[in-house]
């Protein structure tokens, strides 16, 4: 097969364009809805031409803005508080998972007590457990035994535990590639295990860290079910507030789409910045086995 | 002496935090759930106050019409979704496996639906399916067709959630299948072309069999995830109308939070886990078989 680009027939490009439209369409629709007034959303007037407005975003973020938006009569702080909660929970979970997962993956590779087979088996088993299954026990234990319901620590513990198997497993596949000679050289120069880990191994496995952190962040940022069961009014994350504001009738589509957009923005940014690492993380599961 | 001791302890020190977190955050809760499934337990009670009722939760579930109904819905949803996504995803991968400019941009765009929160995906689709302002019905109406009751008719609502899931997850299969295709031995493909195999023959006799191990793992991962889909459905239909879209995961969540029967929810969770375990193990065994077959085939292809 030649490396030069081949001439493709037009139907092929039509297919590609259609696929792109299909996968981006719903996202654009959400964006455009979030930029409309409710009057425009509900009217049958043309879909494509409307005056974009940031009013919905102002409504959502009213109490963190530096000015007071004129159209907001009553400022509901729920959404902006939830946004803050989501950030705190997702960031801390990601950091803790990475640090702990890195240490464990390193130990598993370098000191070899369990084979890779055991770890990938555990990962698969853990991946099998649906969050809905964790709902009952986590609710019971966190409320009555750990006394962690409604706290950041409680939900972070769940997310870290849920993500650890995958993170350990993916980091392991990167650590295996670090040449042992590099570490031995450092040891000769008098570095101890901790120094070797931080100064020699960590810099080499950066791409793996990127993949692992995006996956962890995404799960902690997007998760609804367990957050809904554990968190209370003050610590609620964005997915929970979105579901709470969905009623059977009379949904404020503009505002809810603006919230959805705010929730979707960080994952979208990650996707564009690090799509390569994400694909690595995704394919590693199946292709490497 | 101390140096030897610390170096012997190092691996355990490195592993301890992860082991501790997984123990208290994952293994203990799962064990707890197994125990709770034998209790008559509501959320206001401590677990010690709940009554031990033996297997009654399980027996009740087996006789429960609506539980059976939602088990059937789950299986229907998972199988339709996995089969159609595999066909579309692998088909697209075979079609798009060429040297074109911007392939990486294409892949980036395709992974967007998977990265966005399921809650948001549900929101987008619920809006698009909206009876009056949704884009589907508006388009249908402007073309002179009748509106379709996307989320209010039991047949259509299942179809609607399947469509949404296909939109969200086909790219996953596409990307894995593409990765598998691009790692195929070029020699085998070239040899077959020289021998005069047509495009279709290449696909059916060489590409697909060689991709099989990856495809099986992909299908397995997707199948596992299909049993976990909950948020999208929760936002779109909340299981309705009736029980037409109430998959097991959703039923567990509702039993626990709305009906406040934690014991029953735990028993259901065990059923779901058991189901997934059986599926995983059988797929795993099947993938081992397929793998050895593919290895054999690859050897043959590379030899001649």
Residue window 147-176, chain B: list those with CB within 8 Å of chain A: 167, 171-172, 175-176
Is A148 a residue whose pLDDT tops 80? no
Whole-number Å distance between alpha carbons of A137 and A157: 14
- pLDDT of res. B87: 93
| A157 contact B CB<8A | yes
Mean pLDDT of B214-236: 85
Choose the weakest-confidence range: A51-55, A257-261, B113-117, B253-257. A51-55
Q: Which two tokens stand for residue B124?
A: 């987008």
- 3 state SS of A45: coil
CA–CA separation, A236 vs A229, rounded Å? 10
- Which of A114-123, B23-32, B35-44 reaches the highest mean pLDDT? B23-32
Contacts of A201 (CB under 8 A, 6+ apart): A106, A175, A178, A183
- Under the banding of pLDDT at 50, 70 and 90, the label for residue B6 is low
Domains contained in chain A, CATH given: 10-53 (no CATH), 78-288 (1.10.3720.10)
Look at residue B231 and tell me whether its pLDDT is greater than 80. yes
Q: Do B99 and A253 touch (CB under 8 A)?
A: no
Contact (Cβ atoms closer than 8 angstroms) between residue B77 and residue B161: yes
Query: Is residue A18 within 8 Å of B96, Cβ to Cβ?
Result: no
A288 Cβ contact list (under 8 Å, min separation 6): A173
Assigned token pair, B294: 């593919």
| pLDDT mean across residues, chain A | 80
- Find which of A33-42, A65-74, A145-154 is predicted with most confidence, using mean pLDDT: A145-154
Distance to chain A for B215, nearest Cα, Å: 8
Which of B11, B78, B222 is the mutation pick for testing A, counting most A CBs within 10 A? B11
pLDDT at A1 over 50: no
Q: Would you place residue B286 in the very low, low, confident or very high pLDDT band (cuts 50, 70, 90)?
A: confident
Instruction: Please measure the distance between the N-terminal and C-terminal CA atoms of chain A and give it in whole angstroms.
Output: 27
Half-sphere exposure (Cβ direction) of B134: Cα atoms closer than 13 Å: 21
- Nearest CB partner across the interface for B17, out of A42, A103, A136: A103
A3 pLDDT exceeds 70?
no
DSSP string, A79-125: HHHHHHHHHHHHHHHHHHHHHHHHHHHHHHHHS-SS-HHHHHHHHHH
From the CA of A198, how many Å to the nearest CA of chain B? 13
* CB A89 within 8 Å of CB A160: no
Q: Contacts from B33-39 at CB under 8 Å and sequence distance 24+?
A: B33/A133, B33/A134, B33/A136, B33/A137, B33/B266, B33/B269, B33/B270, B34/B266, B34/B270, B36/A136, B36/A137, B36/A140, B36/B262, B36/B263, B36/B266, B37/B263, B37/B266, B37/B267, B37/B269, B37/B270, B38/B263, B39/B262, B39/B263, B39/B266
Q: What is the pLDDT of residues A25-44, one digit of tens each?
A: 888 888 888 887 776 666 65
Nearest residue of chain B to residue A127 (CA atoms): B224
In degrees and rounded to multiples of 5, residue B51 shows phi and psi of -85, 140
Q: Is A5 on the interface with B (CB under 8 A)?
A: yes
Contacts with A283 (C-beta within 8 Å, 6 or more apart), sequence order: B175, B176, B179
CB A270 within 8 A of CB A278: yes
pLDDT of res. A116: 62
Alpha-carbon torsion B152, B89, A239, A219, what sign? positive
Average pLDDT of the residues in B163-186: 87
Q: For residue A88, what are the contacts with CB-CB under 8 A and spacing of at least 6?
A: A152
Question: Does residue B1 register a pLDDT over 60?
Answer: no
Q: How far is B211 from chain A, CA to nearest CA, in Å?
A: 10
Which of B110, B128, B262 is closest, CB to CB, to A26?
B128
Nearest-CB residue to A23 (from B11, B17, B109): B109
A74-82 mean pLDDT: 78
- Give me the percent of chain B exceeding a pLDDT of 70: 94
For residue B235, pLDDT over 80 is answered with yes
Model pLDDT, residue A140:
79
Tell me: pLDDT of A122 over 80: no
Overall residue count recorded for chain A in this entry: 289
Distance CA(A264)–CA(A262), nearest Å, equals 5
pLDDT at A95: 92
On whether any CB of chain B is under 8 Å from the CB of A148, the answer is no
Instruction: Please write the tens of the pLDDT for every residue from A42-61.
Output: 665 555 666 777 777 877 77
* B51-52 vs B39-40, strand pairing mode: antiparallel
- The neighbour count for residue A146, using CB atoms within 10 Å, is 15
pLDDT at residue B284, as a whole number: 77
Q: Which helix (H) or strand (E) holds B123?
A: helix B118-128
Residue A103: is its pLDDT beyond 90?
no
Lowest mean pLDDT among A77-86, A253-262, A277-286, B85-94: A277-286
Report pTM.
0.84
Nearest CB to B176: which of A5, A124, A287?
A287
- Residue from A247, A225, A25 nearest B164 by CA: A25
CA A205 to chain centre: 20
Q: Which two tokens stand for residue A202?
A: 């960590």
DSSP state of A249: S
Binding-face residues of A in 75-104 toward B, CB within 8 A = 100-101, 103-104
Residue A127, chain B, CB below 8 Å: the answer is yes
Please name the residues in contact with A42: beta carbons below 8 A apart, sequence gap of 6 or more: B133
Lowest mean pLDDT across A117-121, A240-244, B295-299: A117-121
Q: Give the gap in angstroms from C-alpha B235 to the nearest C-alpha of chain A.
A: 7
% chain B with pLDDT above 90: 6
From the CA of A76, how many Å to the nearest CA of chain B? 21
Count Cβ–Cβ pairs < 8 Å, chain A vs chain B.
275
What integer is the mean pLDDT of A260-273?
88
DSSP secondary structure, B35-103, as one string: HHTTEE--TTS-GGGSEE-TTHHHHHHHH-HHHHHHHHHHHHHHHHHHHHHHHHHHHHHHHH-S--TTH
Q: Averaged over A205-231, what is the pLDDT?
A: 86
Rounded Cα–Cα distance for residues B112 and A218 (Å): 12
pLDDT band at A4 (very low <50, low <70, confident <90, very high): very low
Q: Which residues between 237 and 256 in chain A have a beta carbon less than 8 angstroms from any beta carbon of chain B? A: 239, 242-243, 246, 253, 256
Q: Residue B25 and residue B31: Cα distance in Å, rounded?
A: 11
Q: CA–CA separation, A133 vs A210, rounded Å?
A: 29
A-facing residues of B in 70-109 (CB < 8 A) are 92, 95-96, 98-101, 104, 106-109
A98 against A192, higher pLDDT: A98
pLDDT at A196 over 90: no
pLDDT for the residue A93:
92
With cut-offs at 50, 70 and 90, classify the pLDDT of residue B83.
very high
Q: Of A13-22, A79-88, B159-168, B198-207, which has the strongest mean pLDDT?
A: B159-168
Query: Nearest CA of chain B to the CA of A30: how many Å?
Result: 6
Cβ pair B47:A140 closer than 8 A? yes
The answer for residues whose C-beta is within 8 angstroms of residue A214's C-beta and 6 or more apart is: A270, A274, A277, A278, A281
Give the 3-state secondary structure of residue A69.
coil
Q: What percent of chain A has pLDDT over 70?
A: 85
The closest of B88, B173, B208 to A283, measured between CA atoms, is B173
pLDDT tier for residue A176 given thresholds of 50, 70 and 90: confident
Q: Tell me the pLDDT band of B103, cut-offs 50, 70 and 90.
A: confident
pLDDT of A193 higher than 70: yes
Return d(Cα A268, Cα B192) in angstroms, integer: 42
* Residue B200 predicted with pLDDT over 50: yes
Residue A186: count of CB within 10 angstroms of its CB: 17
What ipTM did this prediction achieve?
Answer: 0.84
Task: Report the alpha-carbon distance of residue B116 to residue A11 in Å, rounded.
Answer: 30
pLDDT confidence band for B80 (50 / 70 / 90)? very high
Q: Do B21 and A26 touch (CB under 8 A)?
A: no
pLDDT at residue A286 above 80?
no
Decide yes or no: CATH 1.10.3720.10 for domain B64-303. Answer: yes
Of A263, A27, A284, which is closest to residue B168 (Cα–Cα)?
A: A27
- Proportion of chain A above pLDDT 90, given as a percent: 3
Burial zone of A105 (CB within 10 Å; 0-12 exposed, 13-18 middle, 19+ buried):
buried
Q: For chain B, which residues make up each domain, given as ranges?
A: 64-303
| Tokens 């690492």, located at residue | A277
């Amino acid at each position: 097969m030649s490396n030069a680009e081949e001439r493709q027939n037009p139907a092929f490009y039509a297919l590609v364009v259609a696929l792109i439209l299909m996968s981006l369409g719903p996202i654009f629709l959400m964006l455009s809805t979030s930029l409309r007034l409710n009057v425009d959303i509900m009217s049958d007037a043309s879909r494509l031409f409307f005056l974009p407005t940031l009013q919905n975003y102002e409504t959502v973020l009213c109490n963190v803005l530096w000015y007071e938006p004129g159209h907001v009569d009553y400022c509901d702080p729920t959404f902006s508080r939830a946004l803050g909660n989501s950030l705190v929970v997702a960031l801390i979970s990601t950091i803790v998972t990475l640090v702990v997962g890195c240490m464990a993956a390193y130990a598993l590779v370098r000191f070899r007590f369990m084979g890779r087979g055991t770890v990938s088996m555990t990962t698969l088993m853990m991946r099998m457990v649906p969050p809905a299954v964790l709902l009952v026990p986590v609710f019971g234990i966190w409320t009555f035994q750990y006394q962690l319901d409604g706290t950041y620590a409680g939900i972070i513990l769940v997310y870290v535990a849920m993500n650890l198997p995958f993170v350990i497993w993916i980091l392991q596949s990167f650590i295996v590639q670090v040449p042992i000679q590099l570490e031995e050289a450092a040891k000769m120069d008098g570095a101890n295990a901790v120094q070797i880990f931080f100064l020699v191994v960590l810099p080499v496995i950066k791409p793996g860290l990127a993949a692992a952190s995006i996956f962890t962040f995404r799960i902690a940022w997007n998760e609804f079910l367990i957050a809904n069961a554990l968190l209370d009014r003050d610590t609620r994350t964005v997915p929970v507030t979105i579901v709470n504001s969905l009623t059977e009738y009379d949904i404020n589509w503009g505002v809810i789409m603006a919230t959805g957009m705010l929730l979707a923005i960080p994952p979208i940014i990650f996707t564009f910045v690090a799509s390569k690492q994400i694909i690595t993380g995704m394919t590693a599961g199946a292709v490497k086995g | 002496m101390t140096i030897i001791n610390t170096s012997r302890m190092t691996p355990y020190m490195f592993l301890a935090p992860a082991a501790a977190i997984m123990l208290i955050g994952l293994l203990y809760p799962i064990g707890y759930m197994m125990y709770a499934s034998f209790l008559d337990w509501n959320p206001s009670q401590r677990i010690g106050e709940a009554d031990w009722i033996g297997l009654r939760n399980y027996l009740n579930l087996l006789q429960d019409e609506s539980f059976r109904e939602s088990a059937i819905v789950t299986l229907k949803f998972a199988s339709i979704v996995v089969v159609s996504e595999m066909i579309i995803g692998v088909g697209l991968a075979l079609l798009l496996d060429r040297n074109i400019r911007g392939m990486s941009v294409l892949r980036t765009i395709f992974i967007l639906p998977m990265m966005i929160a399921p809650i948001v995906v549900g929101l987008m689709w619920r809006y698009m399916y909206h009876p009056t302002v949704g884009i589907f019905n508006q388009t249908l109406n402007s073309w002179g067709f009748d509106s379709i009751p996307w989320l209010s008719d039991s047949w259509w609502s299942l179809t609607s959630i399947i469509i949404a899931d296909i939109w969200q997850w086909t790219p996953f299969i596409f990307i894995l299948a593409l990765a598998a295709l691009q790692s195929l031995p070029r020699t085998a493909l070239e040899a077959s072309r020289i021998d005069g195999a047509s495009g279709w023959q290449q696909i059916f006799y060489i590409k697909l069999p060689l991709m099989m191990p990856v495809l099986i793992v992909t299908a397995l991962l997707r199948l596992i995830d299909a049993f976990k889909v909950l948020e999208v459905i929760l936002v779109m239909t909340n299981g309705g109308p009736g029980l037409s879209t109430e998959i097991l995961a959703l039923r567990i969540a509702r039993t626990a939070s709305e009906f406040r029967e934690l014991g029953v929810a735990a028993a259901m969770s065990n059923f779901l886990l058991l189901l997934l375990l059986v599926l995983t193990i059988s797929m795993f065994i099947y993938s081992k078989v397929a793998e050895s077959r593919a290895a054999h085939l690859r050897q043959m292809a590379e030899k001649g």
